[in-house]
């Protein structure tokens, strides 16, 4: 028996490869199919089923393309309806893979069709559960993502309470919990960095599995949920209805353009120019009005959060050799309309004498001593929870997640110092603000992590979350 977790850090997502006696199943695959085809070939396995735990909202699954490539059957749990061929399983239905069995446990709550798959060995002993977004390590799925449902998030939270207690908690403590996500995903509130655990340990440490009333569970689950990123519903619909073939997306996007061709498309189509280099490279020289979202961060989630039209044409400025990777990672969240990349990158653009812009930057020490101390207005673009934990006094929290809600509330001619935790998100914010007419912004390199080391934890400088006794 082979059970392999295929974890993708930038999406905080886990797919799973299970095989036995020459047959395999894959659970919750990513968009690109080739890695799975390579695994099948390497292990000399035939793919029998592709199991989907639910209609994912935070990424586009590879189930449709993978089924076409292999002939495998796509399986969803009860209540699912798809616009492509799939098998809608009944609760407790069993599927054979070699000598193993995968049993469907319908666990609605995160969404109505959410399903956990229980893996049984040759002796029908429970080995593992693949819980999707029903049960995470240290957390459970948010209850506000059901597609076109008349149910409230309180209704769904109540369903999740019952699902956990009636379907999952009665299972043996030594069963391994394999969730679809870990820390960094927006599908839950506070999940662990660990990517699997025993069910017995989760019964001890996961708040959702404690001896609490249904009313208290619902209150806990529905309190403090940030609004879902705008692309979540769009990805869920793509997963339900189908999508453009990945090979075609990759071919269309991985098309090198000369400087003149690139500039002509900029002028004629008015696309988004997406610069995916490092933040310091973008600061040194960038194409005017381009959007910075670096590949070496949580690229896909920020694309999905900040590029509001999923079908808008995109031109790429990428480091050499990472152009195809950029197209692939855009497609993971349904941004399939990339129309090419700048051949030769920014070196070619500058060599052609085209206009560039810079972003002013300072290190934490200079910021603290020369700007913050002198009262230059500072904006903290971290998430509210980060800000509440610790922040500079007299500094406003304007989260990057909601930048389009506050972008018109500030004076565009006023000087601002912008910081996040480390400098990545603040550069994204500056690129958006710059394209929307802001004139005088400076990025703080190293962000709050570096600032707090310079400032120390002096209460006059850093405001920290208060304890209940304070």
Please determine, for residue 142, whether its predicted confidence score (pLDDT) is greater than 60.
Answer: yes
Name the CATH superfamily for 244-351.
Rhodanese-like domain (3.40.250.10)
Where do the H-state alpha helices sit in 353-393? Answer: 364-366, 384-389
Q: pTM to 2 decimals? A: 0.92
Please determine, for residue 467, whether its predicted confidence score (pLDDT) is greater than 80.
Answer: no
Q: What is the mean pLDDT of residues 444-454?
A: 93
Please determine, for residue 456, whether its predicted confidence score (pLDDT) is greater than 90.
Answer: no
The domain made up of 360-464 has a fold known as: Oxidized Rhodanese; domain 1 (3.40.250)
Residue ranges, comma separated, of all CATH 3.60.15.10 domains in the chain are 2-234
Residue ranges, comma separated, of all CATH 3.40.250.10 domains in the chain are 244-351, 360-464
Of the pLDDT bands very low, low, confident and very high (cuts 50, 70, 90), residue 432 is: very high
Name the nearest CA neighbour of 285 among 354, 190, 335.
354
Q: What's the confidence (pLDDT) of residue 402?
A: 96
Q: What's the confidence (pLDDT) of residue 258?
A: 98
Of the pLDDT bands very low, low, confident and very high (cuts 50, 70, 90), residue 191 is: confident
- Higher per-residue pLDDT: 459 or 134: 134
Q: Which long-range contacts (CB under 8 A, 24 or more apart) does 395-403 make?
A: 400/302, 400/306, 400/425, 400/426, 400/428, 400/429, 401/226, 401/229, 401/305, 402/227, 403/306, 403/429, 403/432, 403/433
Residue pointed to by tokens 């939270």:
157
In three-state secondary structure terms, 221 is helix
Please determine, for residue 459, whether its predicted confidence score (pLDDT) is greater than 50.
Answer: no
Q: What's the confidence (pLDDT) of residue 187?
A: 80
Q: How far apart (Å, rounded) are the C-alpha atoms in residues 378 and 281? A: 23
Please determine, for residue 130, whether its predicted confidence score (pLDDT) is greater than 90.
Answer: yes
Q: If you write DSSP's letter for every residue of 123-163 in order, what string do you get?
A: T--EEEEEEETSB-SS-B--S---TT-SS-HHHHHHHHHHH
Please determine, for residue 86, whether its predicted confidence score (pLDDT) is greater than 90.
Answer: yes
Of the pLDDT bands very low, low, confident and very high (cuts 50, 70, 90), residue 464 is: low
Q: What is the mean pLDDT of residues 307-321?
A: 97
Residue pointed to by tokens 């098309």:
255
Of the pLDDT bands very low, low, confident and very high (cuts 50, 70, 90), residue 253 is: very high
Please determine, for residue 458, whether its predicted confidence score (pLDDT) is greater than 70.
Answer: no
Name the nearest CA neighbour of 53 among 82, 87, 77.
77
Left if phi > 0, otherwise alpha if psi is -120 to 50, otherwise beta: which for 135?
beta
Which CATH code of 2.70.98.10, 3.40.50.2300, 3.60.15.10, 3.30.9.10 fits the domain covering 2-234?
Answer: 3.60.15.10
Bridge pairing between strands 272-275 and 396-397: unpaired
- Cα dihedral 63, 69, 70, 76 in deg (nearest 10): 20
| Residue 12: CA count within 13 A, CB half-sphere | 20
Provide the percentage of residues in the chain whose pLDDT is more than 90: 87
Mean pLDDT score of the chain, rounded to an integer? 94
Q: What's the confidence (pLDDT) of residue 461?
A: 58
For the stretch 330-384, pLDDT in tens is 999 999 999 999 999 999 999 999 999 999 999 999 999 989 988 899 999 999 9
Q: What letter does residue 209 receive in the DSSP assignment?
A: G
| Residue 438: CA count within 13 A, CB half-sphere | 23
Give strand pairing partners of 443. 361, 418
Q: Residue 57 in contact with residue 80, Cβ under 8 Å?
A: no
Q: What is the mean pLDDT of residues 37-44?
A: 98
Of the pLDDT bands very low, low, confident and very high (cuts 50, 70, 90), residue 157 is: very high
For the stretch 263-283, pLDDT in tens is 999 999 999 999 999 999 999
Please determine, for residue 132, whether its predicted confidence score (pLDDT) is greater than 90.
Answer: yes
Please determine, for residue 468, whether its predicted confidence score (pLDDT) is greater than 50.
Answer: no
Q: What's the confidence (pLDDT) of residue 409?
A: 95
Q: In residues, how long is the chain? A: 470
Please determine, for residue 255, whether its predicted confidence score (pLDDT) is greater than 70.
Answer: yes
Please determine, for residue 102, whether its predicted confidence score (pLDDT) is greater than 80.
Answer: yes
Residue 65 makes CB contacts below 8 A (sequence gap 6+) with 31, 33, 245, 246, 247
């Amino acid at each position: 028996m082979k059970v392999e977790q295929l974890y993708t850090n930038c999406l905080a997502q886990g797919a799973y490869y299970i095989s036995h006696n020459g047959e395999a199943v894959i659970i919750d695959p990513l968009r690109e199919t080739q890695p799975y085809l390579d695994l099948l070939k390497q292990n000399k396995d035939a793919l029998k089923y592709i199991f989907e735990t639910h209609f994912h909202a935070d990424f586009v699954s590879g189930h449709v393309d993978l089924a076409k490539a292999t002939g495998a059957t796509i399986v969803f749990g009860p209540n699912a309806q798809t616009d492509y061929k799939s098998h809608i399983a009944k609760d407790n239905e069993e599927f054979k893979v070699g000598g193993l069995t995968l049993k469907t446990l319908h666990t609605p709550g995160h969404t109505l069709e959410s399903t956990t798959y229980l893996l049984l060995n040759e002796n029908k002993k429970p080995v593992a559960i693949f819980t999707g977004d029903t049960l995470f390590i240290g957390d459970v799925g948010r209850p506000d993502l059901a597609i076109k449902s008349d149910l409230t998030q309180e209704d769904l939270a109540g369903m999740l309470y019952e699902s956990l207690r009636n379907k999952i908690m009665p299972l043996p403590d030594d069963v391994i919990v394999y969730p679809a996500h870990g820390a960094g995903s927006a599908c839950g509130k506070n999940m662990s960095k660990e990517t699997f655990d025993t069910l017995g340990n989760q019964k001890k440490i996961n708040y959702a599995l404690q001896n609490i009333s249904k009313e208290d569970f619902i209150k806990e689950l529905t309190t403090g949920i940030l609004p879902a990123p705008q692309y979540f519903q769009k990805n869920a619909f793509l997963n339900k209805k189908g999508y453009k073939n990945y090979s075609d997306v990759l071919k269309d996007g991985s098309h090198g353009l000369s400087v003149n061709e690139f500039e002509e498309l900029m002028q004629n189509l008015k696309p988004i120019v997406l610069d995916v280099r490092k933040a310091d490279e973008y600061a040194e020289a960038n194409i005017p009005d381009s959007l910075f979202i670096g590949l070496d961060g949580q690229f896909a989630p920020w694309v999905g959060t900040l590029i509001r039209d999923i079908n808008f044409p995109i031109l790429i400025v990428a480091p050499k050799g990472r152009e195809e990777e950029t197209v692939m990672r855009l497609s993971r969240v349904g941004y399939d309309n990339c129309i090419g990349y700048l051949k030769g990158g920014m070196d070619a653009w500058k060599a052609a004498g085209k206009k560039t812009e810079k972003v002013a930057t300072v290190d934490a020490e200079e910021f603290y001593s020369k700007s913050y101390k002198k009262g230059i207005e500072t904006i903290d673009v971290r998430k509210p929870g980060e800000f509440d934990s610790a922040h500079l006094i007299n500094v406003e929290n304007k989260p990057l997640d909601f930048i389009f809600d506050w972008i018109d509330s500030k004076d565009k001619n006023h000087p601002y110092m912008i910081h996040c935790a480390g400098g990545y998100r603040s550069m994204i914010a500056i690129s958006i603000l710059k394209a929307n007419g802001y004139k005088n912004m400076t990025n703080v390199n190293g962000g709050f992590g570096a600032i707090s080391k310079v400032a120390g934890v002096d209460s006059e400088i850093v405001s920290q979350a208060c304890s209940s006794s304070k």
